[in-house]
Amino acid sequence: MEDPVRTTSLLHVAESLRTGATGVREHTDATLRRIADVDRAVRAFVDEPERTERLRAAAQDVTDRHPAPDGRPALYGVPVGVKDILHVDGLPTRAGSTLPPEELAGPQATAVSRLLAAGALIAGKTVTAEFAVAAPGPTRNPHHLDHTPGGSSSGSAAAVAAGLVPLALGTQTIASLIRPAAYCGVVGYKPTHGRVPLDGVLPTSPSYDTVGTLTATAADAALAASVLCDDWRPERAGADRPVLAVPEGPYLGLAEPEALTAFDRQVTALRDAGYEIRTVPVFDDFEQDAFSLFVVNLYELARAHAGLFDRHADRYDPRTAEAILQGRTAQESDYADALKARAAFRDRLADATHRHGVDLWITPAATGPAPRGLDNAGDSVMSLPWSGAGLPIVSVPAGRSTAGLPLGLQCAGRTGEDERLLHWARDLESTLSAPTA
């Protein structure tokens, strides 16, 4: 088997295919060979016996529709992975479960249709935790095959880290893009909640659910965002450097010592590079805030699975079933109170952001490096407040643990300012990847 770690730049692949420097059929065959060789160990993709025939036919179709380089769409011929809770015409949706696929069927997701309209090829469905909740799939971390890739967008993160595809769609409810991106050493981008349509996506918690991307670089994420996001305007990015803020309070103490030590190094590197970094008190009552956010999550999860769970409870993994049953114990009044608490939390965070002149909040992207084993996909708490507030978030690679596992820096921007977030992420990424003296 070839080296299971080999990211490829979406920008470079897309340009090579659009200009004709690389042929679509040639690149498609190379993708199929890489999947056949490496994915036997990594297991990022859902098994698909007819993948070769389907993907070659799609490559021929996009070539026939765009014979001349002039006017080829942005993702012409680019193979992408799609998390298996998004519907794709012609491919079943199983959502990492053993439920009958016909129970989960539905119209193709708008996010998928936007990729196809931009010329992309669907390389296949990527593995997800069951229903994007808590029960991990079989995917392994390409950096260390006996460690988790994170969840629930495990297959999407691993597929990009292993160089199977340069772009994969994932989703995030709490930390399902950011954490696996950090564990696998790639860039995870969660847009502002609602910036990418959710139709055609199996719901987990609609108040939080967001379609996002896994790519090799922040610049790659910006290209994907320009295709996926509503009303994308690159001119909004601006040129000024952001003011960074570290949240002071009990929240950061939930990270492991190794993550905090690495975060201190990252903050020092950014300060030495000329960034203004402020320490801002926030989340004084984080435990209560977290409780309200999780009540919303579990209540909506239980409602999303009401009919399915009634018909197929015995087919659910016990961890997923436990979450659904816990959500069923919440009353409508509990949910209404939690929504009010969430709105108040969001307002307090927005007030602190504006009052202290914060452009980006920075934190560890996960509580630590990827845990050993495949049964534990890691802790979601580092992304909880930012996802709970619906903010755009990006995780960029930021060094390695003492065991050589990737670490990430999480950056949360202001609502709707995704263009600025991804523009700034490029320099943050470059600064944190620079060699130290």
Model pLDDT for residues 21-79, shown as the tens digit of each residue: 999 999 999 999 999 999 999 999 999 999 999 999 999 999 999 999 999 999 999 99
| pLDDT computed for residue 437 by the predictor | 37
Phi, psi of 274 (to 5 degrees): 105, 5
Give the Å distances, CA to CA, from 165 to 35, 120, 143, 168, 392: 9, 11, 16, 7, 24
Per-residue pLDDT of the chain in tens (437 residues, 90 and over written 9): 888 999 999 999 999 999 999 999 999 999 999 999 999 999 999 999 999 999 999 999 999 999 999 999 999 999 999 999 999 999 999 999 999 999 999 999 999 999 999 999 999 999 999 999 999 999 999 999 999 999 999 999 999 999 999 999 999 999 999 999 999 999 999 999 999 999 999 999 999 999 999 999 999 999 999 999 999 999 998 878 999 999 999 999 999 999 999 999 999 999 999 999 999 999 999 999 999 999 999 999 999 999 999 999 999 999 999 999 999 999 999 999 999 999 999 999 999 999 999 999 999 999 999 999 999 999 999 999 999 999 999 999 999 999 999 999 999 999 999 999 999 999 999 999 875 43
Specify the pairing of strand 187-190 against strand 210-215.
antiparallel
Burial 121-144 (b: 16+ CB within 10 A, else e): bbbbbbbbbbbbbbbbbebbbbbb
Torsion sign over Cα 362, 368, 371, 376: negative
pTM: 0.98
In a 13 Å sphere around the CA of 39, the CA atoms on its Cβ side amount to: 27
